[in-house]
Amino acid sequence: MRAANQRKNALAKQPSKTNAPAKQSKTKAKAVSTGDAAAPPDDSDFILRSLQTEFEEQKRFNATPEQMLKFYEQMLLIRRFEEKAGQLYGLGLIGGFCHLYIGQEAVAIGLQSALDNDRDSVITGYRDHGHMLAYGIDPKVIMAELTGREAGISKGKGGSMHMFSTEHKFYGGHGIVGAQVALGGGLALAHKYNEDGGLCLAYFGDGAANQGQVYETFNMAALWNLPIVFVVEDNQYAMGTASSRSSAETRFHRRGTAFRIPGMEVNGMDVLEVRAAAEVAFKHVREGKGPVLMELNTYRYRGHSMSDPAKYRTREEVQEQRDTHDPIERLKKTLIEGGKSEDDLKAVDKGIRKVVAEAADFAETSPEPEASELYTDVLVENY
Amino acid sequence: MGIELKMPALSPTMEQGTLAKWLKAEGDTIEPGDIIAEIETDKATMEFEAIDEGVLSKIMIAEGTEDVAVGTIIAMITGEGEDASAPDPAPVATAEPAAVPEQAPKPVAEKPAPSAPAHDPEIPEGTSFTSTALREALRDGMAEEMRRDERVFVMGEEVAEYQGAYKVTQGLLDEFGPKRVIDTPITEYGFAGIGTGAAMGGLRPIVEFMTFNFAMQAIDHIINSAAKTNYMSGGQMRCPIVFRGPNGAASRVGAQHSQNYGPWYASVPGLIVIAPYDSADAKGLMKAAIRSEDPVVFLENELVYGRSFDVPDLDDHVLPIGKARIMREGSDVTIVSYSIGVGLALEAAEELAGEGIDAEVIDLRTLRPLDKQAVLTSLAKTNRLIVAEEGWPTCSIASEIQAICMEEGFDDLDAPVLRVCNEDVPLPYAANLEELALINAGSIVEAAKKVCYAD
Ligand SMILES: Cc1ncc(C[n+]2csc(CCOP(=O)(O)OP(=O)(O)O)c2C)c(N)n1
Ligand SMILES: [Mg+2]
């Protein structure tokens, strides 16, 4: 057992997050808590660091050139789609709340590319456009939902925050912060109950991570050994609140400790690192070993939603993230090192811009829902 | 030829804004993602980001220009490979807003309040008034009570450093400091419980919910902990707390963010439920709520926050809880309403006046305890009554008023009491469906005519 502890301590001392976005405000919390949260020394199956250890042995996924190009295309599609959505919002074509995923693309692509889409399910909050695009769902029906048109994936009745595709086992699209975590626990319960071999990937934010139901779910998921991967998308802010102002422990991967859920800390700005971590986590869950908690360190470039006072962080901070941690630029560099030319990648961008422009045209020109749709889908049956 | 950059909307309620700053100059090369300008409204600042690449060939609206209409062309970008020295596009007059694209949902204007309402008898004759936005009236009410009573403090998400998600707590942190203006994590159940416990412990908390939709996480504490303790303890343990925040539908925010909880809370004995419409009532009732020894649910409305109404220039404007107010006197039909519905009822009354029907408009102001007498007195005068409510019809305040009229005003009724409410469906996102689902002045007019047999 000593060996295990020594290993844990050694890991704790390793400089972590070399490439992850800087968390200036976390340094203090980190200094205080490093080395704590240790297992009782006599507990032989206390394995909370084992997944991290395995992940750190091979931190970047060994992608084929085809896989790598695909990741690039998918991330770029999310970026361009979200930029266009922001533009349509400015034109009044999209209303209400619209939360963009720009900056966080590597998280959804890295994780979801490792799913078995025939079996696994995904659930998230209101910042959901990217997770849908990661499935390859037609950008047209997503954009048409944003503009509230009949052709939208929720017939225009859900909007940006409430999109679903049961066909893909994507369960939304939820507007109440934290609700998706317990719902994800239920999806995992169904996987286990049906013995379908699937797992649930449940995303939530650093702000959502403080909701009580998250911990109620952690307990039940661990107690019942549910096949679920909890993913904290730590983009460092919940609206205007930096995580250090709302969270006593900002190293979110440690928060499963009390429930014996192993944690992983991942640079969410590197799609290959995210994918490598996903491989380790999903394998653990699929082997029937219960839930995993992943902390994906990332950054949101845009405002929380379209209306954002932008006074809680400096422009320099945002610029620094874009300049030095951008997930798309990072992969581009890897691709170019692997022999792709700037021109190849420019052509990819051009193709994606075309797809997005078509989606926007479609979303702008397709008709609004029929008035009769107001009363449909309230209940399934007639009574 | 180039790409026109238009003044963007930051929210569906925005019609104009200030072009605060240009971060790029004419002639600068622009990459997608570059921030080119900063746009401001009273609520927020937005960074205007480039979508296209090219050269910023012309700035049409100088920085610092205020009241730039959404859709106005503010600059031109010359696209990649195009001749940057192409002739300047014809300048667009600043004041002339570019046409809103045809399919664009009409932005909901923050309407001016309809013509001056009837005088509130609670306010002394001869008092002068100052026009004040609703959000400021609420803030002023809280600030005055915080100055008066050290025990009063505010807690909630984004209430302090961010100055409130809807800017209702603006300035409170500066004046009262972080001990009394507390940012909480997103943990409604927890902080509603902490607030309730603090009230039991002798403090006077004001707990802000970013919107009442999120108070559903906390409703157990509001009802089981706050509303019932005085009774269960035989009057020993009090819970003087105010739970406040915006309630009801906002604009295009979909089913989970658009509900009126008035009827929910109004059904609970042990709670006070207040839902004011205008700034004077919001301030006067906010002060009363904070002073009350009982737990108060104080329901505001986001769509009214920006509207300005007269507030009396009184040192201590405190209104009685549980008293309705006649907003417009009339003799033919009574329209009972509360919160945002009052504005619609007043609008409908104007329209009815044009058709020779003289409507009386009653603002309930407090939903529990409900001012039955005001309703019944008006009914005795007009003999016809309808209820206008921005909320679902089933088990609503409107149904409650119907029951009261049946039980206690039956002999005064010349027509059945009608409910004018939202459609009985979760609120849809699509602009056309949302409009169909929500109550409007037209449907109030229709119902009023129906009970007057004027069709
Ligand atoms: C229960 C609840 N409380 C408050 C809100 C309002 N709200 C929406 S998003 C948000 C911030 C969430 O931040 P985080 O979890 O970090 O996710 P991010 O937006 O950064 O993706 C808040 C407070 C809500 N939707 N639901
Ligand atoms: Mg966040």
Which pLDDT band holds residue A132 (cuts at 50, 70, 90)? very high
Q: Tell me which residue in A175, A212, A374 faces B187 most closely, judged by beta carbons.
A: A212
Residue A124: predicted pLDDT: 98
| Whole-number percent of chain A with pLDDT over 90 | 85
Residue B81: predicted pLDDT: 52
Q: Please say whether the beta carbons of B77 and B56 come within 8 A.
A: yes
- Is the pLDDT at A84 greater than 70? The verdict is yes
| Whole-number percent of chain B with pLDDT over 70 | 90
Class of the CATH-defined domain B325-451: alpha beta
pLDDT in tens, B238-273: 999 999 999 999 999 999 999 999 999 999 999 999
The correct answer on CATH 3.30.930.10 for the domain covering A47-361 is no
How far is residue A109 from each of residues A161, A337, B166, B345, measured CA to CA in Å? Answer: 19, 21, 34, 51
Chain A residue numbers with beta carbons less than 8 Å from the beta carbon of B254 are: 96-97, 158-159, 161-162, 175
Residue B12: predicted pLDDT: 62
Q: Which atom of ligand 1 is nearest to the CA of A233?
A: 21
Which of B136, B188, B389, B434 is an active site residue?
A: B188
Q: Of the given ranges (A61-65, A78-82, B72-76, B110-114), which has the lowest mean pLDDT?
A: B110-114
- Is the pLDDT at A6 greater than 60? The verdict is no
Q: How is chain A split into domains, by residue range?
A: 47-361
> Domain B131-312 adopts which CATH fold?
Rossmann fold (3.40.50)
- Is the pLDDT at A216 greater than 50? The verdict is yes
| ipTM score of complex | 0.88
**Closest C-alpha to B419, from B438, B404, B398:** B398
Q: Ligand 1: residues within 6 Å at CB?
A: A 127, 175-177, 205-208, 233, 235, 237-239, 300, 304; B 157, 186, 188, 210, 214, 217
- Is the pLDDT at B101 greater than 70? The verdict is no
Mean local confidence (pLDDT), A50-58: 93
Which pLDDT band holds residue B14 (cuts at 50, 70, 90)? confident
pLDDT in tens, B138-189: 999 999 999 999 999 999 999 999 999 999 999 999 999 999 999 999 999 9
- Is the pLDDT at B11 greater than 80? The verdict is no
Residue ranges in chain A assigned as alpha helix (H): 2-13, 27-33, 50-57, 65-90, 105-112, 129-133, 139-146, 179-194, 212-223, 243-246, 271-286, 315-325, 327-337, 342-365
Q: Amino acid letter at B221?
A: H
Mean local confidence (pLDDT), A162-172: 97
Which has more pLDDT, A37 or A285? A285
Residue B319: predicted pLDDT: 98
Residue B53: predicted pLDDT: 81
Please give the Cα distance from B24 to B108 (Å, whole number).
Answer: 32
Which of B257, B350, B423, B446 is an active site residue?
A: B257
Mean of the per-residue pLDDT values of chain A:
90
- Is the pLDDT at B91 greater than 90? The verdict is no
Question: Which residues in chain B are classed under CATH 3.40.50.970?
Answer: 131-312
Chain B residue numbers with beta carbons less than 8 Å from the beta carbon of A83 are: 32-33, 49, 51
Annotated active-site residue B257? The verdict is yes
How far is residue B314 from each of residues A5, A339, B141, B145, measured CA to CA in Å? Answer: 69, 76, 12, 14
Residue B16: predicted pLDDT: 84
Q: Please say whether the beta carbons of A130 and A78 come within 8 A.
A: yes
Chain A residue numbers with beta carbons less than 8 Å from the beta carbon of B33 are: 83, 301, 322
Q: Which residues contact B156 (CB under 8 A, 6 or more apart)?
A: B169, B182, B183, B184, B191, B207, B208, B209, B210, B245
Mean local confidence (pLDDT), B11-20: 80
Annotated active-site residue B188? The verdict is yes
Residue B5: predicted pLDDT: 86
Pick the CATH number of B3-79 from 2.60.40.10, 2.40.100.10, 2.40.50.100, 3.90.1420.10: 2.40.50.100
Yes or no, beta carbons of B45 and A309 under 8 Å apart: yes
Yes or no, beta carbons of B430 and A92 under 8 Å apart: no
- A91 to chain B nearest CA, in Å? 6
